[in-house]
Amino acid sequence: MLTVHHLNDSRSQRILWLLEELEVPYDIKFYRRDPHTKMAPPELQHIHPLGKSPIVTDEGRAIAESGAIIDYIIRRHGDGRLQPDPRSREYDDYVYWLHYAEGSASLPFVIDPIARGFGKMATPLQRRVDYELDLNLKFIDDCLARNDYLLGGELTGADVQMSFVGELAVTLSNASSYPNLDGWVARFQARPAYQAALERGGPYGFVRQPAA
């Protein structure tokens, strides 16, 4: 059976969600971040040399990186669900989102706390980070202006892959500036499969809080 090596408050939460959407049976092996450094424990390196979550093991092999895992699960276990026809133009957009999530979209969120840690010394860098954050979040917000999900009216693996970016945006940024993105996060977090993944995965710090 497929096993998710699940680190608390990490990108592996979206893998649990994907499996719940597809109703694919899976096991979970839990790992906890170091309470001081917030880093993943060294035990994850026993599963994959980089020791990063998510990792899944299936049929005697380990698959790492969220985009690769989502592609693997949908191809091997999805029976054509949650992705467009590979011959369609929509599939090209789907592949774009799979790569964009951990490319352009995530990078400002990674650099932001580093820049803030240097205080005034990093002011020029902080300006650039703020610019890139706003640029990317406005782009996502505009793409969601006419549709419930990234590729239209139905959820796909693109939404699952992009979900962590959306969750970071609504918990760490001013979500009111990006109403379409905020609505999208509220919409997917309300799905029964998402809620089931939360129940199985345990406490998760990036659940959108309802507006006051």
**95 and 178 assigned to the same domain:** yes
**131 and 47 assigned to the same domain:** no
Classify residue 135: in a domain, yes or no: yes
Name the domain count of the chain: 2
**112 and 171 assigned to the same domain:** yes
Show pLDDT as tens, one digit a residue, over the chain (212 residues): 999 999 999 999 999 999 999 999 999 999 999 999 989 999 999 999 999 999 999 999 999 999 999 999 999 999 999 999 999 999 999 999 999 999 999 999 999 888 888 888 888 899 999 999 999 999 999 999 999 999 999 999 999 999 999 999 999 888 889 999 999 999 999 999 999 999 999 999 999 977 65
Walk across the sheet containing 55-58 and list its strands: 27-31, 3-7, 55-58, 61-64
CATH number at residue 142: 1.20.1050.10
**165 and 101 assigned to the same domain:** yes
- The token pair that represents 32 in the structure block: 């906890």
**56 and 120 assigned to the same domain:** no
Q: What is the DSSP letter of 104?
A: I
Classify residue 199: in a domain, yes or no: no
CATH number at residue 71: 3.40.30.10
pTM score: 0.95
In angstroms, the CA 8 to CA 31 distance is 7
For 26, the domain range is 3-81
**139 and 183 assigned to the same domain:** yes
**36 and 69 assigned to the same domain:** yes
